[in-house]
Structures are given as structure tokens and as C-alpha cells.
Amino acid sequence: MNKPLTTLIVPPYAACRFGCASCCAAPIGVFWITGLISIVYGFLGGPAHLATTSWPTVGLGAGLWLIAAVWAWVVVRNTDEEACQGRPNRLCRTIAPNADDADPLEEVRRAAGGK
């Protein structure tokens, strides 16, 4: 997927994949997940347990998703490609590990003297 589409659909992944400020991925993820949950909860009746859709709750969810998308867009837009290459982040390596990365469990087994 390209940058704009990823930033809109999955903002935390975009912040990790294309952005240098990957420390923002967790709070962006909180806003995004909360927005998704709010949208689903709104369609199920919301906090008032309505028989129909609770549009204010759906609107709240859409607003939270929009905040996450804009925040990720700002992180991605302000990225300097060369400065980010030497700064690996532990959270983003966990989300999208490189093929070159060693298996942590294999390292533990070797240190413990196992096979």
C-alpha cells in the first residue's frame, strides 16, 4: 500500500513504517483502536442502549480515527529518510521485523546451552 492510503486506514502502522517518530505509534494506535471500538459500539446502540444507531458515538469514533490519521500524516510528512535509517525502534521492529533479525528464542536457547 502507498503512504496516503496506509496513513488513512492503519495510522499506527504508517507511523512505524514511514515515520521516524515511531514513539508516536503507540498513542496513535490508542486513538485508532478507540475510534474503531466507538464506531462499532455506536452501531450497536451506544451508551444509551438505543434500538437504532447512536450517531454521536459513531461520530466520536470517526473523530478519533481522524485524529489518529492526521497525527500519523504529520509524523510521516515530517520524516527525513536519511535520518531514520540509523534509528531502529524496538516497538516498530516488533511490529514489522526485518528478515535479517535473529529469533530471540533461539538466542535464549543458545545462551542456556540448549540445542
DSSP assignment of 8-41:
HH-HHHHHHHH-S-GGGHHHHHHHHHHHHHHHHH
The per-residue pLDDT for 61 is 97
Cell numbers linked to 50: 438505543
**pLDDT top residue among 91 and 25:** 25
Q: Say whether pLDDT at 53 is over 80.
A: yes
Q: Tens digit of pLDDT for each residue in 1-51? A: 688 898 899 998 888 888 776 678 889 999 999 999 999 999 999 999 999
Q: What is the mean pLDDT of the chain?
A: 82
pLDDT over 70 at 115, yes or no: no
pLDDT at 68: 95
